[in-house]
Amino acid sequence: MTAQEQFLLLLEDAAPPGEALILTYLENADALILGYLGESALPEAPRMELIRARIALALYNRRGAEGESMRTEGEVASRFEPMDGLLRLYLRPFLKARAVSLLNEAGDG
Protein backbone atom coordinates (compact mmCIF):
# COMPACT_ATOMS: atom_id res chain seq x y z
CA MET A 1 0.00 0.00 0.00
CA THR A 2 1.40 3.41 -0.93
CA ALA A 3 1.91 6.23 1.54
CA GLN A 4 -0.89 8.16 -0.17
CA GLU A 5 -3.32 5.25 0.24
CA GLN A 6 -2.34 4.79 3.87
CA PHE A 7 -2.74 8.52 4.50
CA LEU A 8 -6.33 8.38 3.20
CA LEU A 9 -7.06 5.22 5.18
CA LEU A 10 -5.74 6.71 8.43
CA LEU A 11 -7.51 10.03 7.81
CA GLU A 12 -10.96 8.43 7.70
CA ASP A 13 -12.41 11.72 6.42
CA ALA A 14 -15.64 11.85 4.43
CA ALA A 15 -14.20 14.71 2.33
CA PRO A 16 -10.48 13.98 2.00
CA PRO A 17 -8.09 16.62 0.68
CA GLY A 18 -7.10 16.62 -2.97
CA GLU A 19 -4.24 14.54 -4.31
CA ALA A 20 -1.95 17.57 -4.76
CA LEU A 21 -2.35 18.53 -1.10
CA ILE A 22 -1.71 14.97 0.08
CA LEU A 23 1.44 14.79 -2.06
CA THR A 24 2.60 18.11 -0.59
CA TYR A 25 2.20 16.77 2.95
CA LEU A 26 4.05 13.58 1.96
CA GLU A 27 6.90 15.70 0.54
CA ASN A 28 7.00 17.67 3.80
CA ALA A 29 7.08 14.39 5.73
CA ASP A 30 9.97 13.20 3.55
CA ALA A 31 11.90 16.41 4.27
CA LEU A 32 11.26 16.00 8.00
CA ILE A 33 12.42 12.37 7.92
CA LEU A 34 15.56 13.18 5.93
CA GLY A 35 16.43 16.07 8.23
CA TYR A 36 15.89 13.97 11.35
CA LEU A 37 17.96 11.08 10.03
CA GLY A 38 20.61 13.33 8.45
CA GLU A 39 20.32 11.44 5.17
CA SER A 40 19.91 12.47 1.53
CA ALA A 41 17.59 9.59 0.58
CA LEU A 42 14.82 7.77 2.41
CA PRO A 43 15.75 4.34 3.76
CA GLU A 44 14.53 1.37 1.74
CA ALA A 45 12.20 -0.41 4.13
CA PRO A 46 8.71 -1.86 3.77
CA ARG A 47 7.34 0.13 6.71
CA MET A 48 8.71 3.46 5.42
CA GLU A 49 5.45 4.08 3.52
CA LEU A 50 3.49 3.81 6.78
CA ILE A 51 5.94 6.11 8.56
CA ARG A 52 5.68 8.67 5.74
CA ALA A 53 1.87 8.47 5.88
CA ARG A 54 1.74 8.89 9.67
CA ILE A 55 4.08 11.89 9.66
CA ALA A 56 2.17 13.48 6.76
CA LEU A 57 -1.07 12.93 8.67
CA ALA A 58 0.40 14.51 11.82
CA LEU A 59 1.43 17.54 9.75
CA TYR A 60 -2.00 17.67 8.11
CA ASN A 61 -3.74 17.57 11.49
CA ARG A 62 -1.62 20.48 12.70
CA ARG A 63 -2.42 22.72 9.74
CA GLY A 64 -3.19 26.24 10.85
CA ALA A 65 -0.78 25.93 13.78
CA GLU A 66 2.45 26.07 11.76
CA GLY A 67 5.19 27.84 13.68
CA GLU A 68 3.28 27.79 16.96
CA SER A 69 4.57 26.03 20.04
CA MET A 70 1.51 26.80 22.18
CA ARG A 71 -1.99 28.18 21.70
CA THR A 72 -4.65 29.14 24.21
CA GLU A 73 -8.27 29.59 23.22
CA GLY A 74 -10.46 30.36 26.18
CA GLU A 75 -9.75 27.67 28.76
CA VAL A 76 -8.25 25.24 26.25
CA ALA A 77 -4.47 25.24 25.92
CA SER A 78 -2.67 23.26 23.21
CA ARG A 79 1.05 22.55 22.95
CA PHE A 80 2.72 21.62 19.68
CA GLU A 81 5.95 19.69 19.23
CA PRO A 82 7.83 19.61 15.94
CA MET A 83 7.76 15.80 15.97
CA ASP A 84 6.09 13.86 18.74
CA GLY A 85 7.68 10.93 20.56
CA LEU A 86 5.74 8.24 18.72
CA LEU A 87 7.01 9.42 15.35
CA ARG A 88 10.58 9.51 16.71
CA LEU A 89 10.14 5.89 17.82
CA TYR A 90 9.13 4.95 14.28
CA LEU A 91 12.35 6.50 12.96
CA ARG A 92 14.74 5.29 15.67
CA PRO A 93 15.72 2.05 13.85
CA PHE A 94 16.91 4.13 10.90
CA LEU A 95 19.20 6.44 12.87
CA LYS A 96 22.88 5.84 12.28
CA ALA A 97 25.61 6.52 14.78
CA ARG A 98 27.84 9.40 13.81
CA ALA A 99 31.55 9.26 14.50
CA VAL A 100 33.29 12.43 15.59
CA SER A 101 36.93 13.04 16.16
CA LEU A 102 38.15 14.42 19.44
CA LEU A 103 41.48 15.32 17.87
CA ASN A 104 41.94 18.77 16.43
CA GLU A 105 42.26 19.23 12.67
CA ALA A 106 46.01 19.97 12.79
CA GLY A 107 46.70 16.48 14.11
CA ASP A 108 48.77 17.59 17.09
CA GLY A 109 46.29 16.49 19.71
* pLDDT tens-digit map of 53-79: 999 998 888 877 666 677 788 888 777
State yes or no: pLDDT of 91 exceeds 70: yes
The fraction of the chain above a pLDDT of 70, given in percent, is: 84
The contacts of residue 79 (CB under 8 Å, 6+ apart) are 69, 70
Task: Enter the pTM of the model.
Answer: 0.74
pLDDT tier at 28, thresholds 50, 70, 90? very high
Q: Which residue ranges make up each domain of the chain? A: 3-94
> For 6-31, what is the mean pLDDT?
91
d(CA 85, CA 65): 19
d(CA 59, CA 33): 12
* DSSP single-letter state for residue 22: H
Burial class (CB in 10 A: 0-12, 13-18, 19+), 73: exposed
- Among residues 51, 1, 48, 52, the alpha carbon closest in space to that of 24 is found at 52
What pLDDT shows up at residue 65?
Answer: 67
pLDDT tier at 19, thresholds 50, 70, 90? very high
Lowest mean pLDDT among 4-8, 34-38, 72-76, 105-109: 105-109
